[in-house]
Amino acid sequence: MSPTRRHLLVIDDEPHIGLLLRPHLERLGYRVSLARTLAEARAALQDRHAPLDAMLLDLHLPDGSGLDLLRELRATAATRRLPVIVLTAEGDERVLGEVEELGAALLTKPFSPSKLTARITAMLDDGPAPEEPR
């Protein structure tokens, strides 16, 4: 399946992450929403007019932990199977182990856009990763 119409929510408080990822992913055919806080992410999750296909989640946000949001997602039937990639510079093995136990993929910062694209494509079962625009 093509990534066209796939809706991704990127949750990261670092402005440059959104500035880099949004245009890159949109060029590949994804629809991208950005949230910089847990509150914004929770609001996006409640938007019935914009259902999500996947989430890219930072663990360290200004109003709390992305790990708390991941726990909430997995405890709720409607979002239990939402594909999540955790984007983090976190090094604590206990935290990283819990992320994996909760069924999220891990991608450590810094990361390349092409590596992220490949992970998203594999996670959504979209077939081969789209070629990077030149």
Q: What is the pTM of this model?
A: 0.87
Q: Torsions phi, psi of 88, nearest 5?
A: -150, 155
Domain count, the chain: 1
Q: Per the domain annotation, does 2 fall within a domain?
A: no
* Domain ranges, residue 93: 7-123
Please answer whether residues 119 and 85 qualify as being in contact, where contact means their C-beta atoms are separated by less than 8 angstroms: yes
Q: Per the domain annotation, does 131 fall within a domain?
A: no
What does each C-alpha distance from 85 to 49, 58, 133, 134 come to in angstroms? 23, 9, 23, 26
How does pLDDT run across 30-62, given as a tens digit for each residue?
Answer: 999 999 999 999 999 998 888 899 999 999 999
pLDDT reported for residue 134: 44
Q: Per the domain annotation, does 1 fall within a domain?
A: no
Q: Which CATH number is 114's domain given? A: 3.40.50.2300
Q: Per the domain annotation, does 92 fall within a domain?
A: yes
Q: Per the domain annotation, does 26 fall within a domain?
A: yes
Q: Per the domain annotation, does 129 fall within a domain?
A: no
